[in-house]
Structure 1
Amino acid sequence: MPQSAHTVALTAALALLGAPLSGCAAADAPPIGPPAVNPLYVTPAEALTPDQVRYLQQQLRDWPQLERYRAENAALPVAQAGQPRVVFFGDSITEGWGPTGSGTFFPGKGYVNRGISGQTTAQMLLRFRQDVIALQPAVVVILAGTNDIAGNTGPATQAMIEDNLHAMRELAQAHGIGVVLASVLPVSEYPWQPGVHPAPKVRALNAALQRYARDQGVVYLDYYRAL
């Protein structure tokens, strides 16, 4: 994704914080087809390659990937006065910005990258306390849901995705953290999961998230419309 699209959208959202962005809601079309599932979860054990077995064993050892940012969190300095800390919380689209403090990730800002490629909202919810709340940010930017639609960690209905995102918003609110809730980006297919047809599912989820953000008074960051 072009960095300019990220920059424009996030600058607007972080400037507004308490006020939802205006714009037309995505078409509220019903999802098509059943929830997707990672093919590895339904492949007979004897048909798995050694690399696939190692991947699944790693998932069992640390399913939410709490180990990923544990050391960085411990080494993170206290937030400085006058420079509010913002945590970007998501999957590969967030991780792709670059590491915290790097030249590609908002240099000179008090922003923290806590994206992990391939993660679903269920995994993110489990690490929300460690990778968001414990860092005491002023704001968290949450971008997630596409990997749920892809079935990365098993079948997930739209209601399940919404429940996880709602829980993150509620946890943030309970700890005085402002929320920017981002739309899922447009996608027509997943190379690692052919046959899912995610586009109508993305539109339906975004329409629900936009309504939820409006009702809860949080910022809705409309990547979908921008892209």
Structure 2
Amino acid sequence: MKIVCIGDSLTEGLGVDKEKSWPMILGELGKMEVINRGISGDTTTGMIGRFYQDVIGYQPTHAVIMGGCNDLWWGMPVNAILANIYSMAKQALHHRITPIVGIPTPIYMKGLDHDIIWEPVAGYPVLQNKLSQLVNELKNMAEKNGWHYFNFYSLYMNENKVINQQYFLDTDGLHPNEEGHLDMAQLALGSSIWT
């Protein structure tokens, strides 16, 4: 089994040692070959542009496709993000690679350092609404097509629908810390796709 994880900073592991990113922990815990092709700041359009080289070129059995947060930051419509992720999943299937959709993590607003992080083009309230919409639409798309997905968004919310702030880096409310990545890897490892 060989897995390629393509995405942005949530996959790459911005802010933690790269060996502590969830794809690398998944590989270690699951005794699987996992290749991390996350690039910080990438959009789903950028991911499509490198999909053949960064995913298909490795001839994996599975591809975890997670993106959209940077797209939303720049004001891209949710439908455009869905179309890009759908396109990558279909390319994977064409090459006999099982696609897995990664559902992005929420944003912990109280943890944001506004001196470091640019404000989204349409502002934070619009971003939050669009992220919720994207999360729901990604799940719907995966379920309708019979694709597996890793619901990292729900992992980051407690039973009261409040964000688990302990999962984020101290410096921002966007990127997981080591604990966040570890629990993401464990969620992925516990998926029924591997059984």
Same fold (TM over 0.5): yes
- Alignment deviations for residues 24-47 of structure 1 (CA, whole Å, 9 cap, x no partner): xxxxxxxxxxxxxxxxxxxxxxxx
1:88 aligns with 2:5: yes
The residue identity in structure 2 corresponding to 1:209 is L
- Is 1:134 aligned to 2:51, yes or no? no
Contact kept in structure 2, 1:188 and 1:199, CA below 8 Å: no
Cα displacement string for residues 191-214 of structure 1 (whole angstroms, at most 9, x for unaligned residues): 222533321111101111111101
The answer for the alignment partner of 1:205 in structure 2 is: 134
Deviations 1:160-211 (A, max 9, x none): 1111011001100100000110112111557222533321111101111111
Structure 1 runs, 4 residues or longer, greater than 6 Å off: none
Give SS of 2:36's match. strand
Question: 2:92 corresponds to which residue?
Answer: 172
State TM-score, norm by structure 2: 0.66
Tell me the equivalent position of 2:155: 226
- The CA RMSD measured in Å over matched residues stands at 1.9
Show the counterpart of 2:81.
161
Q: Which amino acid aligns with 2:94?
A: A
1:117 aligned to which of 40, 44, 61: 40
Superposed CA offset, 1:202-227 (max 9, x none): 11011111111011110121111110
Q: Give structure 1 stretches of 5+ with no counterpart.
A: 1-83
Please give the secondary structure, in 1, of the residue aligned with 2:40. Answer: coil
- Which has the higher Rg, Structure 1 or Structure 2? 1
In 2 relative to 1, CA 201–188 (structure 1 residues): closer, same or farther, beyond 3 Å? farther
What is the DSSP-based 3-state SS (H/G/I as helix, E as strand, rest coil) of the residue aligned with 1:214? helix
Partner of 1:51: none
Contact 1:120 1:147 (C-alpha < 8 Å) held by counterparts? yes
Cα offset, 1:109, TM superposition:
2.9
Question: Do residues 148 (structure 1) and 71 (structure 2) align?
Answer: yes
Of 188-197 and 121-130, the range deviating more from structure 2: 188-197
SS of the counterpart of 1:113?
strand
Distance, in Å, in 2 between the alignment partners of 1:120 and 1:188 is 20
TM-score by length of 1: 0.57
Deviation per residue, 1:34-64 (Å, 9 max, x gap)? xxxxxxxxxxxxxxxxxxxxxxxxxxxxxxx
Residues in 2 aligned to 1:132 and 1:142: alpha-carbon distance in whole angstroms: 10
Aligned to 1:196: 124
Of structures 1 and 2, the one with the larger relative CO (CA 8 A, separation 6+) is 1
**Which ranges in structure 2 are unaligned for 5 or more consecutive residues?**
157-195
